[in-house]
Amino acid sequence: MPRFRIGERVGLNGLLREMHGGEAIGTVVSITPDRHGMDGFDEYEIVFADSRKLRVRRFQLTHIVLTDDESHEKASLGS
């Protein structure tokens, strides 16, 4: 079962985060399960605000927690 869902905001870990600087947060747009059933190797396609796309494995990602301001903004956009 995928750790992240489509539409969820995620951040890059480790060296990937350093390589992408402050633009290390994106949104999951597709998920490809690992063909051997190893969840840590599920592949996620991430889209960034500047339209860049990146395909990474689950172990290269981390959860992003929305701040109160972002939660309010998201709620107002949904109405």
pLDDT digits (tens, 9 = 90+) for 22-68: 678 999 999 999 999 898 899 999 999 888 899 999 999 998 887 76
Task: List, as one string, the DSSP characters of 3-65.
Answer: SS-TT-EEEE-HHHHHHHGGG-EEEEEEEE--TT--GGG-EEEEEETTS-EEEEEGGGEEE-P
Which residues are paired to 72 by β-bridges? none
Domain boundaries, the chain: 9-78
- pLDDT at site 73: 46
For residue 53, the cross-strand partners are 47
Please tell me the pTM assigned to this model: 0.76
Pick one of 2.30.30, 2.60.40, 1.10.10, 3.30.70 as the CATH number of 9-78. Answer: 2.30.30
